[in-house]
Amino acid sequence: MAQYIGQAPINGFHAKQTLTGDGSTTAFTLDQTVASETALIVSVGGVIQEPKVAYNLTIGGTKIDFTEAPSSTDTVYVQFLGTAVVTNLNDINGTEFVLDIDGDTSFTADTDDEIDIRVGGTDRSTIKATGFHNLDSIKFVAGTGDDMQMYHDGSNSYLTNSEGALKIATETSGIAVTIGHSTSEVTIADNATVAGNLTVTGTLTQTGTQTFDGGIAVSYTHLTLPTTPYV
């Protein structure tokens, strides 16, 4: 009989896991992560179960979920025909990388220097060298109750708040806050309270009641006031 030269061959084996049913539990954690239902042989009470019919994989192949809960009298075992292999992700070369179990959330980089993010089957955001770009009406949301939202709807930009005060402020005194552009208009759609000095370097047109808790310094040629005198 000829002798084997070199390292002895390694014989593979298929790991086995026994599950204990109780008649109500359908989901069980697997000892190994598998990539597909067909990578398992599942027996319940001596009957081989059909993949994707009698059971499915969930949570990225870490759990098995039975269509019907195995009873406490059933002998249940899982034979692993293979385990999931983690692919080297150093270079996926533009291939879409799927993140969730139903395949509708992913990211891909099929355009140079750009990462596209898809959630729930819809493109949501793009990461480029110039920054993080949300598509129209995709919101940046903050707060447990989604209280503060910032987004662009295709026509206008919004910063909204539904809980507490919306404060635009600086951390230290002496830092200027600029609202608007030198040639743009700023509209205040509700009451405005000025708790300090108000300096106007242009035309101030009074069309309603204004209450000031401080002085008013006007540095312009004229001040337009209502024709009805104040009482």
30/95: higher pLDDT:
30
What share of the chain has pLDDT > 70, as a percent? 81
Distance, CA of 225 to CA of 51 (rounded, Å): 81
Average per-residue pLDDT for the chain: 81
**Is the Cβ–Cβ distance between 78 and 61 less than 8 Å?**
no
What are the pLDDT digits (tens) for 81-109? 877 665 555 566 677 878 888 888 888 88
Amino acid at 65: D
DSSP per residue over 66-125, as a string?
ESSPPPTTS-EEEEES----PPPTT--TT--EE-STTS--EEEEEETTEEEEEETTEEEE
What share of the chain has pLDDT > 90, as a percent? 25
What are the pLDDT digits (tens) for 148-158? 898 899 999 88
